[in-house]
Amino acid sequence: MEGKIALEEHYAIEDTLMDSAGYLPEHTWAELSARVLDIEGRRIEEMDRNGVELMILSLNAPAVQAIPDRRRANEVARKSNDVLAEWVERHPGRFRGFAALPLQDVDMACAEMQRCVNDLGFVGALVNGFSQIDEPDTAYYYDLPQFRPFWQVMAELEVPFYLHPRNPLPSMAQIYDGHPWLMGPTWAFGQETAVHALRLMACGLFDEHPDLQIVLGHMGEGLPFSIWRCDNRNAWTEAPPAYPAKRTFSEYLQENFYITTSGNFRTQALINAMLEVGADRILFSADWPFENIDHAAIWFDSCTISEADRRKIGRLNSLELFGIEL
């Protein structure tokens, strides 16, 4: 399929480059670092070879979220957003931008989000999970009351928020002790992000802002498969949910979340996601440079779904969600 749009596609600046080290075998670092720093060379060549017309670019992980100092986090976020804006301006037919945000300080994050949308023309934000604030061994999740003013700004701007994974902090990762291979995309990324998404659903955020839209990568971080059980939970007891939100997890997933195919090129998983949230809420993505664009594109272009759904997932849903005109 030609004209695909991909939206979990990352870059790094020199300040954040080393955040991408350690996720892949050491012998791949020369290749990975070259991929993540490149914007206008091989990236565009890979897009052309694989029918990707447009990428929405985002900073690598955990980057800003792992900088406890509020002013430094804001400095790196603004720097990376300014760099990205220059690339988008040079290639408006190929790139759009997601804002990096210093959620260590809600006022700074709100100001930067408004700047990125109103001045730089970005189409949303991508944030790498929880933020460490003031002290390195802290993890603040965005269902907490202190973040409500930020969500108000997101709702007013009417742009989506991409909740991207990061590993749990070592002090909070005892379940992985002795099994480091479970960290990262093997398991910890998905578990961490799925729990964060459930917290957002349960806290009442979407009752307050019913039109707010969150994007999850990697075919929904396992939630399409598990969401029914989250709601059912020993249904014979007829006990009401104990969380503050007014509706079921399934309803929020179907009305306030979009799912991308990034890094999960599996037809069975795609069909499960389509059955749970519908083809209108799924978006093509690759997860470059950590996954290959050709692996994503070859799979997606030939997977056993209807051509109408392929067109929606590959292009049309993103055009509508992000208000993109090409």
Q: How many other CB atoms are found less than 10 A from the CB of residue 169?
A: 14
Quick one: residue 52, left, alpha or beta (phi over 0 = left, psi -120 to 50 = alpha)? beta
Q: Which of 190, 215, 65 is nearest to 125 (CA)?
A: 215
Whole-angstrom CA distances from 160 to 105, 155, 252, 282, 323 are 20, 9, 15, 14, 11
Whether the bond into 289 is cis, omega within 30 of 0: yes
For the chain, the C-alpha Rg in angstroms (whole number) is: 19
Q: Are 161 and 124 in contact (CB under 8 A)?
A: yes
Residue 287 is a catalytic residue? yes
Q: Which of 19, 105, 143, 287 is catalytic?
A: 287
Using alpha carbons, list the distances in angstroms from residue 138 to 66, 77, 163, 220: 10, 19, 18, 26
**What CA–CA distances, in Å, run from 45 to 49, 150, 300, 318?**
6, 37, 19, 22
56 neighbors 9 (Cβ within 8 angstroms): yes
> Residue 289: helix, strand or coil by DSSP?
coil
Q: Annotated active-site positions, please?
A: 287
